[in-house]
Amino acid sequence: MGMTITEKIIASHSKYETVKPGDIVDIVIDARAARDFGGANVVKNLNDFGLRVDDPARTLFTFDCNPTGSDQKYAVNQHICRQYARANDIRVYDINAGIGTHLLIDEGYVWPGATAVSTDSHANILGAVGAFGQGMGDMDIAAAWNNGKVWFKVPASVRINLRGELPAEVSAKDVILNLLSIYGANTLLGYSIELYGKSAERMTLDERITIASMATEMGAIIILFPPSEEIISYCRSRALKPFEPVFADSDATYELTADIDVTTFSPMASRPGEPHDTVAVSDLPLTRIDSAFIGSCTNGRIEDMRMTAAILRGKKVAPGVVLKIVPATDVVWNECLAEGLLEVFKSAGALVSNAGCAGCAAGQVGQNGKGEITVSTGNRNFPGKQGQGNVYLASPAVVAASAVAGYITTPDKIPAAPVEFVKTKPQQVTATGKPHSAGGERPTIVRGRVWIIERDNIDTDMIFHNRYLAITETGEMGQYAFDNLEGYRDFAKMAEPGDIIVTGKNFGSGSSRQQAVDCFISLGIQAIVARSFGAIYERNAINAAFPVLTYNSFAETDLKDKDIITVNLVTGDVTNERNGLRTTVNPFYDAQYEIYIKGGLLGRMQ
């Protein structure tokens, strides 16, 4: 009995001559990758268990989730991976390289018939060249790095024959969205899909990548294309070793064989929340957009960029719409530069970023905000995946056309003038009477437990780190107070409402972030008494009606950590209740007192 493509690849990488669905076998892995997402955990697993890397030549890191290095946590993980790579002679495709699954193909780590694993759930994209790729967790990847093998359960295979000629306006992205419309997210759950038919045979590498990349969204293990002569030639010119392509046997057994008439396919869009909730673009009601995104492992190749440029050339992005374009790899980015596509994008008003996963990985451009409507070429639009707004999925052609039109449409339906946002009447604002900080009668004498922090130059990053700056609700800020101050990272857990901080010179130096004040308000801290304050910090505190005072010395009171003191904000009188000793600090000045009593600067302006 013959075998399918998947069965033959698995068998050739195992100790068995033949395998069948349901068999569990150890498979030799030709390429073993970890990303900046999950890579640090792979390193941790290896170090925790004292494991070494089996074959550094087959092992690599790819930093594609946060190629800008703009996220502090990603930056830490990337540095951990770089250090491990240096010590173990492992190749790092750093933040300038692009999406790891694409690099595995373009750099010759995989070829028709090869096997690969990655911490990327879309590693099955390698089915585009007839290779068997799988996304796996950190422990699996660590095991593959250590012994070169992982166990795998042989999946049953499905054969889909694409019959007929694709309509001219239907792209590869439309093909996979139409297939999602037919099969949904779980009909083919756990299957290996092989695509046949003239339409599939004629597809370029870029088109095959688009379709293969969304096997995960169909619930499939992988979508495999039998390699064409063009694909074989491309891979032979790059592969790190000689290979013979793998094809299914003529008598291979498939769990299901289906003939799909592609002549009925049309440009499609996935509605927000579920990639398989697809609808013909022509059947969508007029859907205004705020932003558009072109990129991701699904649609970031050069053909996608050319398709986009063909629509944008000589046109402008609609007023009020933001178009973000991210090539999949640095090679694609440079091809865009050489072909003049970047100039087309910029002239149209698009934002172009360096190569990487972008919005799909929440680490680069492409994210949207609450209430924002985005049309995207990504592969997922789960709630929160690409931001807090709503995301429609579509092809590069539809996304580019929509960015110009201002609403979701196809290239042939771009209007002569874009739809513009209608100005709304200014909202009538009614004062709530609530001050920025705690409301009610403002006390002029405060009493509380003291935290003595004998340090100078405590800056705003130590007080409230910039990784939390997206937080806008004051009530959520307290948990991060002093999160980046060595020795006080548990401050938020130990502080109690009513506490008073006594500290050194230049407290709050650095940035202008209001959160560095508001985090203490959130915790119920009553006041900060310092030798001096950063100028902007002092203003921010005063404007928030948060008591800040300066002092020269507390020596007269024999002040110790956790003593209880009373502070008169108007006179500056301070009493240490432990011993009754007194001193004075610099009291509120007139403007500070006025703002304090009013509940804050904006209250003062009512």
Token pair for 606: 């009512």
Do 445-604 and 5-264 have the same topology in CATH?
A: no
The pLDDT-based confidence of 437 (bands split at 50, 70, 90) is very low
Whole-number Å distance between alpha carbons of 525 and 582: 22
Once rounded to an integer, what is the mean pLDDT over residues 390-395? Answer: 95
Classify residue 263 by its DSSP letter: G
Whole-number Å distance between alpha carbons of 78 and 65: 10
Q: How far apart, in Å, are the Cα atoms of 71 and each of 37, 81, 477, 516?
A: 12, 15, 18, 19
SS3 302: helix
- % of the chain with per-residue pLDDT over 70: 95
Burial annotation 55-83 (CB, 10 A radius, 16+ → b, else e): eeebbbbbbbbbbebebeebbebbebbbe
pLDDT value at 67 more than 90: no
Task: Give which of 486, 501, 579 is closest to 547, Cα–Cα.
Answer: 501
Once rounded to an integer, what is the mean pLDDT over residues 118-125? Answer: 90
- Cβ neighbors of 12 (< 8 A, separation 6 or more) are 113, 246
Decide which of 174 and 74 is more confident. Answer: 174
Report the run of H or E that residue 7 belongs to, with start and end: helix 5-12
Whole-number Å distance between alpha carbons of 98 and 66: 10
What count of Cα atoms within 13 Å lies in the side-chain half-sphere of residue 189? 4
Specify the pLDDT at position 393: 96
Specify the pLDDT at position 346: 97
Whole-number Å distance between alpha carbons of 522 and 526: 10
SS3 213: coil
Whole-number Å distance between alpha carbons of 36 and 60: 11
Specify the pLDDT at position 363: 57
**What burial class does residue 254 get, using C-beta atoms within 10 Å of its C-beta: 0-12 exposed, 13-18 middle, 19+ buried?**
middle
Task: Give which of 556, 455, 468, 483 is closest to 513, Cα–Cα.
Answer: 468
Once rounded to an integer, what is the mean pLDDT over residues 303-328? Answer: 97
Q: For 47-66, what is each residue's pLDDT tens digit?
A: 999 999 999 999 999 988 87
The pLDDT-based confidence of 432 (bands split at 50, 70, 90) is very low
The least confident of 137-146, 198-207, 227-236 is 137-146
Pairing type for strands 351-352 and 373-376 reads unpaired
As a CATH number, domain 284-413 is 3.30.499.10
Once rounded to an integer, what is the mean pLDDT over residues 382-408? Answer: 91
β-partners of residue 322 are 291
Whole-number Å distance between alpha carbons of 28 and 220: 22
- Whether the Cβ atoms of residue 112 and residue 131 lie closer than 8 Å to each other: yes
Specify the pLDDT at position 140: 87
Specify the pLDDT at position 69: 62
Assign a CATH topology to domain 445-604.
Answer: Aconitase; domain 4 (3.20.19)
Whole-number Å distance between alpha carbons of 361 and 38: 12
- Whether the Cβ atoms of residue 32 and residue 124 lie closer than 8 Å to each other: no
**What burial class does residue 400 get, using C-beta atoms within 10 Å of its C-beta: 0-12 exposed, 13-18 middle, 19+ buried?**
buried
- Whether the Cβ atoms of residue 203 and residue 128 lie closer than 8 Å to each other: no
The whole-chain average pLDDT of the chain stands at 92
Once rounded to an integer, what is the mean pLDDT over residues 314-320? Answer: 96
| Domain spans, the chain | 5-264, 284-413, 445-604
The pLDDT-based confidence of 420 (bands split at 50, 70, 90) is confident
pLDDT value at 322 more than 70: yes
The pLDDT-based confidence of 277 (bands split at 50, 70, 90) is very high
Specify the pLDDT at position 435: 43
The pLDDT-based confidence of 434 (bands split at 50, 70, 90) is very low
The pLDDT-based confidence of 440 (bands split at 50, 70, 90) is low
Specify the pLDDT at position 273: 87
Pairing type for strands 445-453 and 564-568 reads antiparallel
Superfamily classification of domain 5-264: Aconitase, domain 3 (3.30.499.10)
Q: How far apart, in Å, are the Cα atoms of 399 and each of 114, 116, 268, 395, 581?
A: 34, 32, 11, 6, 71
Whole-number Å distance between alpha carbons of 543 and 517: 10
Angle at 295 (CA atoms; ends 293, 301), nearest 5 degrees: 145
SS3 of 370-408: CCCEEEECCCCCCCCCCECCEEEECCHHHHHHHHHHCEC
Specify the pLDDT at position 364: 67
Whole-number Å distance between alpha carbons of 600 and 584: 25
